[in-house]
Amino acid sequence: MALFTLPLLVAVIPCVLCTTDLAKAPPLVDERIKEALLGTSVRNEVTAPEVRPAVDDHKYDNPRTLVVLDPIEMKDSFTRFFKQMEAAGHRLAYRKVRDSDVDKEMFRHGERAFNNVVLFLRAPFPSSDALRSLFGQLLSFMDDGGNLLIATGASVQGNSDGSGDDTAAVASSAQWKELRTFANELGMDLDRRGWVLRDHFAFHGSDEGQHSMITSDKILRSTPVVDDKALGGPVAYRGVGHWLSPSNSLTFSILRASPTTYSAPASVEEDAGYRGDKQENTFLVSAMQAHNSARAVFSGSLDMFSDEFFLLSNVSNSQFCGQLAAWTCHQTGVLRSINLRHHKYDEESAPYMYRIMDNITFSIDIQEIKQGKWVAYMGDDVQVEFVMLDPYLRLFLDNKASSGTFTTNFKAPDHWGVFKFVIDHRRQGYTFLHIEEQAPLRNFKHDDYARFIWCAFPYYGSVFSTIAAVVGFSFIFLSSA
Amino acid sequence: MKALSGFVSTLTDIAKSGFQQYKKVTPDRVKLLDLLVIFLGYTAVVQLLYCFIVGSFPFNSFLSGFICCVGSMTLTIGLRVQLMDPEEFKITAERAFADYLVCNLVLFLTVINFLG
């Protein structure tokens, strides 16, 4: 007997010990896991980590803007432009290109430290190495969502009567190559080194010499970039031109030269009879809005922003440059969407799933920034697509009473699967709006079908009369046997 | 004209004598069977006409109503063949009738499920 009980005890005792241990041990699901699962914080003693304000927090009303100049005293020639920017809420920081800190300051601890960069370059240019490093940094700045306003070209050092010293603006070929390469990255093709634009018809009255102070009123219209109605006259410009590839959908010109403008080497005297090559579409100021909605604006004239040009009579450089800077720095032409909702036509909230051929109501609020405030977007060509790999429906959204609430009703297609609503709104001068929201469609459930349809009653009747006939026949057949 | 009326009268004579022969020779049970076949065929044809007039919605109801009649008719004809020719099939009338009932039961169950 003892022989049997001993192994039994040996087997039972550890089990008992284990169970008592388990009772003392902490529960398997501890509080932290519960918190993670339930998404609510049960404990109060956890202090929130110190949050450093992100640079984009005041992107629209109080942006941080880095002004890169060389030499730093150059800013005295642009006081009016920078005053305008400060009035628009910018917090400006001035740095020299040759400052080795410029690269580091643009990103601090790996985070972008500025919303915008204004880069003013003129001869004598920094060394090509310094330029290459700066441009590389600027490209990563844009990749991260920062905006860039860049102006270069002929110098303001020219005599105030415009009689020329354009040669002072000539960069070395290595420097110009860096500049052209960078402009190419932005989708622009810069003119040859040392060439300037001239126009013997559209020039400013104060330019009695080489007619390099040209004017143009060919401003991009009907976009939020520049409000051409608010401008009092043409824009004065002195510098180089550039061209855009028509196949690049991200770039567009804001200011174009008049057809009589031509490009010629700065050193060639008018009397030499040199005509230069006339270009139909010489661009003066162009913009590139990247896929991440970061904006780069390139101007081939630095003088355009100068106090000298701001004070000229009969031109609207002051307003134009102010609007240009505001657009570049995401203070105009920015869209956002809020409050996306969709539901069945006669219901209030979205169901778990839509059924094929349901009537669906889709609506979304789209807002545009104006003077630092979000106001209703006035567009009337916003479309929503109902997509399963291909768009099955593409519908205009109705901007109800211009309230910024865009709505449509539609009947879901007779095709079930994983659908989604897609809004891909790309309009010139506005940031890109891309919204996707999944809304799968299911087929009819067995109880979704209608029953007892009146026009089917003959069929029901025929089935039951057949059954009755067969049963009746069976009785008679068997009883007659 | 004379030939045609002669032909018609010959046809009616044949039909009459055939019907007389049918009434005389065919057992009563089988006559009952034929009556059922005629009833089912008639119902099927009426449903087909109705479907042409009203439209095929709801199609499942039409299919079940029509197939119920045609299927049951086919089964009844099968029973009739088995009853009329015992030498060929070598089964008793009771067994044939039981088969007929089971087949009809399966048909009706299917049709009622598909009817709604």
CA atoms within 13 A on the CB side of A365: 7
Asked whether A466 and B40 are in contact (CB, 8 A), the reply is yes
Contact yes or no for A477 and B29 at CB 8 A: yes
DSSP β-ladder status, A354-355 and A441-442:
parallel
Residue A118's pLDDT band (cuts 50, 70, 90) = very high
Q: Does A25 touch chain B (CB under 8 A)?
A: no
Residue A134 and residue A210 in one domain: yes
Q: Does A23 touch chain B (CB under 8 A)?
A: no
B102 or A257, which is more confident? B102
Contact yes or no for B54 and A455 at CB 8 A: yes
Tally Cβ neighbours within 10 Å of residue A366.
Answer: 26
| Cα distance between residue A261 and residue A467, in whole Å | 95
Residue A428 and residue A459 in one domain: no
B30-82 confidence digits (pLDDT tens): 999 999 999 999 999 999 999 999 998 889 999 999 999 999 999 999 999 99
What are the DSSP calls for A353-378, one per residue?
Answer: SEETT-EEEEEEEEEEEETTEEEE--
Q: Does A471 touch chain B (CB under 8 A)?
A: no
A78-106 confidence digits (pLDDT tens): 999 999 999 999 999 898 877 667 777 88
Q: Which residues of A touch B36 (CB under 8 A)?
A: 469-470, 473
| Cα distance between residue A69 and residue A65, in whole Å | 13
Residue A142's pLDDT band (cuts 50, 70, 90) = very high
Residue A260 and residue A354 in one domain: no
Domain boundaries of chain B, sorted by first residue: 27-115
The maximal CA–CA distance of chain B, rounded, in angstroms, is 58
Mention every residue, 6+ apart, whose C-beta is less than 8 A from residue A213.
A162, A203, A204, A206, A207, A236, A237, A238, A303
Tally Cβ neighbours within 10 Å of residue A450.
Answer: 8
ipTM value: 0.92
Element spanning A286, H or E: strand A283-289
What are the DSSP calls for A100-160, one per residue?
Answer: THHHHHHEETTEE--SEEEEE--SSPPPHHHHHHHHHHHHHHHHTT-EEEEE-SS-TTS-T
Residue bearing tokens 């699962």: A37
Q: What is the pLDDT of residue B42?
A: 96
Altogether, the residues listed in chain B come to a count of 116
Strand partners, B2: none
Q: Which residues of B touch A481 (CB under 8 A)?
A: 29, 93
**What letter represents residue A260's amino acid?**
T
Q: What is the pLDDT of residue A56?
A: 72
Q: Chain-centre distance of CA A440, in angstroms? A: 28
Mention every residue, 6+ apart, whose C-beta is less than 8 A from residue A362.
A341, A342, A384, A397, A407, A408, A409, A410, A421
Residue A236 and residue A104 in one domain: yes
Q: Chain-centre distance of CA A182, in angstroms? A: 21
Residue A118 and residue A223 in one domain: yes
Asked whether A409 and A346 are in contact (CB, 8 A), the reply is no
Residue A456's pLDDT band (cuts 50, 70, 90) = very high
Q: What is the pLDDT of residue A218?
A: 87
Residue bearing tokens 């399966």: B106
Tally Cβ neighbours within 10 Å of residue A393.
Answer: 17
Residue A320 and residue A414 in one domain: no
Asked whether A70 and A126 are in contact (CB, 8 A), the reply is yes
Rg of chain A (C-alpha set): 36
CA-based nearest distance A411→chain B, Å: 21
Residue A260's pLDDT band (cuts 50, 70, 90) = confident
Contact yes or no for B68 and A477 at CB 8 A: no
In a domain, A358, yes or no: yes
Question: Domain limits at A471?
Answer: 451-481
Across the interface, of B54, B55, B97, the residue whose CB is closest to A477 is B97
| Cα distance between residue A219 and residue A225, in whole Å | 10
Residue A182 and residue A143 in one domain: yes
Q: What is the mean pLDDT of chain A?
A: 82
Q: What is the pLDDT of residue A107?
A: 86
Residue A324 and residue A340 in one domain: no
In a domain, A406, yes or no: yes
Of the three residues A328, A361, A384, the one that is the final residue of a domain is A328
Contact yes or no for B43 and A466 at CB 8 A: yes
CA-based nearest distance A440→chain B, Å: 27
Residue A285 and residue A357 in one domain: no
Residue A159's pLDDT band (cuts 50, 70, 90) = very low
Contact yes or no for B72 and A462 at CB 8 A: no
Asked whether A469 and A477 are in contact (CB, 8 A), the reply is no
Element spanning A38, H or E: helix A31-38
Asked if pLDDT for residue A69 goes beyond 50, the answer is yes
**What letter represents residue A268's amino acid?**
V
Q: Which residues of B touch A451 (CB under 8 A)?
A: 116
Look at the alpha carbons of B21, B22, B24, B27 in this order and tell me if their dihedral is positive or negative.
Answer: positive
Tally Cβ neighbours within 10 Å of residue B71.
Answer: 20
Residue A374 and residue A398 in one domain: yes
Domain count along chain A:
3
Q: What is the pLDDT of residue A52?
A: 57
Q: Does A201 touch chain B (CB under 8 A)?
A: no
Asked whether A224 and A430 are in contact (CB, 8 A), the reply is yes
Residue A71 and residue A191 in one domain: yes
A367-401 confidence digits (pLDDT tens): 999 888 899 998 889 999 999 999 999 999 998 88
In a domain, A45, yes or no: no
A18-27 confidence digits (pLDDT tens): 444 444 444 4
Q: What is the pLDDT of residue A465?
A: 95
Residue A323 and residue A339 in one domain: no
Contact yes or no for A459 and B29 at CB 8 A: no
Closest residue of chain A to B44, computed from CA coordinates: A462
Q: What is the pLDDT of residue A60?
A: 79
Q: Does A475 touch chain B (CB under 8 A)?
A: no
Q: Is A272 helix (H, G, I), strand (E, B) or coil?
A: helix
A185-189, A421-425, B44-48: segment of lowest average pLDDT: A185-189
**What letter represents residue A70's amino acid?**
D
Residue A17's pLDDT band (cuts 50, 70, 90) = very low
Mean pLDDT, rounded, for A282-290: 92
